[in-house]
Amino acid sequence: MTGYRVGIDLGTTYSLVAALVDGEPKVLPNALGEALTPSVVYVEPNGTVLVGAAAAAKGALDPARVARTFKRDMGLERDYALGDKHFKAEELSALVLRQLKQDAESALGGSIEEAVVTVPAYFGELQRRATRDAAELAGLKVERIINEPTAAALAYGLHERHRELSAVVLDLGGGTFDVTLLEIMEGVIEIQASAGDTRLGGEDFLEVIERLCLERLKTQGLELVAGGTGRARLREACEQAKRRLSTADSTRVALPALPTQQGERDVELELSRAEVEAGFAPLLERMTAPILRALRDANRSPQDVGEVLLVGGATRMPCVARLASQLFGRLPLRSLQPDEAVALGAAVQVALKAGDAAVGDIVVTDVAPFSLGLAAMAEAGGARVTGLFSPILERGTVLPASRVERFFTTTDGQKVIKLEVYQGEHSLCERNQKIGEYTLKGLPQSPAGEEGVDVRFSYDMNGVLDVDATIVSNGKTANFTIERTPGRLSQSELKETRKRLERLKFHPREALPNVTALSRAEALYVEITGPARASLGQAISHFRAALESQDPALIARLREALLSRLLDLSQHP
């Protein structure tokens, strides 16, 4: 083998990379020795780019230079301005993937030959292609994209391959929610149905807590300064509160010297799990809809499901487990770490693709998450209606799949036909997502309705669509490649963008532990007061002096002392 193969979970809030090590999938550590890398990018005033934990810590104090949750905008035209630099979502994702690639190469001791990257099952055509673009920009060879719940099922199925069971995977990550129904039988994992919501995740639950805190501030006559650091500090404090409420009935949000329009104020807010979960109710209702849709598509009832698997860090919230128990009448399982299951499954998929004997007896199938079709016209009583959605390949179709439908001309002597491709479930095209179009020329002139065009949709295991159109009378065929869709980079743009990203300045990988430790300490220093702040300030000063000394042994010793102080303060605030 000329290089290593890895599986990558490119997440909304955290990303991971895993590989098969000694026949078992293992999560590989990053430069800090941690499994989770925050999907965060920060640009320092001097133009240096930070990715991961250091970026998250810096961003808490300088929100105008940080980008988060950009995975939700994959395939869209949104521009992120970080200082004087501008990025698209796939470019930011490429920076995260670049960091994961470096970490994997360091952990494995060699170059990465190929990667399998996961996406939400409910990601559409444009989002999947944008993910491939991001991987290409990061210098990764990605021939296989796999749905996140399918990856989790693979990780689970590796351990349960000799069982026969039906299961549902509920995957609630930072930004997306997926539901997948599957069966495991004699090493075959059959995906039966997928549904989800690409705009529902842990970040939305966090926003509920944040809004609740803002309302509390208003009752105290306080309002945050627009564009200041107060909102970023509040969000970070709410994130910590959300985690604590997963195990505690109540918690407090403490924000000393919070900048408000009424001046700096020491703020302390009490939150109970009951009131927070009351605010979660609309989000839990949104989770219920795709679960029921997946059950309908698979022609299953909740009682037919043998096991409920929870995947994604946000499933640690007790209300999610409770919802699952209520819907399926059984306690859900977390036999694998919720944060790691998807990455581990991606590593299993890599091994399957490479024919590794350790996973040689596992087979996995998948299904199309969306219906795909063309815009069509209907005529009745002399009246014509356009913009109707005509599905060619329906959701739930087992992949890979190829389907063909025949369409006819609508006017006499028609020489061209415009094929507009849509994805979605509504009968009207305007309510679905347009993913591309192609104008087929060269139709022989004939009366309306006599000339036919056969349109074939081929959907591969990556969830990528290929379209062929054939004129029936003369056999002329055209391949429909979606090159210029909204948010999609052309090959020349990909090449230029990759060169531009390579010119960015990055901290050396060996310096990241120092940068991250200092950034985390500075972020916490803002949040605390009194003797604890004085003690932390002293530790920061000593560490800065060590960095100036350039003595590796001294730097390492004082960095560990600083991290130990941070850990102590986080456990005993």
Q: Is 136 a catalytic site residue? A: no
Query: Is position 9 annotated as part of the catalytic site?
Result: yes
**Can you tell me the distance from the alpha carbon of 248 to that of 242, in angstroms, rounded to the nearest whole number?**
10
For the chain, the residue count is: 573
- Active-site entry in 71, 88, 101, 242: 71
Q: Which two tokens stand for residue 308?
A: 């409920």
| Residue whose pair of structure tokens reads 């948010």 in the numeric block | 487
Residue of 91, 133, 171, 178 marked active site = 171
Per the rule left: phi > 0, alpha: psi between -120 and 50, beta: everything else, 154 is alpha
Instruction: Tell me if 182 sits within 8 A of 191, measured CB to CB.
Output: yes
- Phi, psi (degrees; rounded to nearest 5) at 276: -65, -45
What CA–CA distance (Å, rounded) separates 230 from 245?
22
Q: Cis before residue 400, ω within 30 degrees of 0? A: yes
Over its C-alpha atoms, the chain yields an Rg (Å, rounded) of: 26
Per-residue three-class SS string for 351-407:
HHHHCCHHHCCCEEEEECCCCEEEEEEEEECCEEEEEEEEEEECCCCEECEEEEEEE
- Catalytic residue flag (residue 103): no
Contact between 9 and 16 under an 8 Å Cβ cutoff? The reply is yes
105, 125, 133, 148: which is the annotated catalytic residue?
Answer: 148
H or E stretch at 150: helix 148-159
Q: At what angle do helices 125-137 and 491-502 cross, to 10 degrees?
A: 40
Asked whether 487 and 434 are in contact (CB, 8 A), the reply is: no
Eight-state DSSP code of residue 175: S
CA angle 241, 243, 249 (to 5 degrees): 70
Whether 22 is catalytic is: no
Q: What is the phi/psi pair of residue 392, to 5°?
A: -105, -40
Closest by CA to 463, choosing from 126, 174, 6, is: 126
Catalytic residue annotation:
9, 71, 148, 171
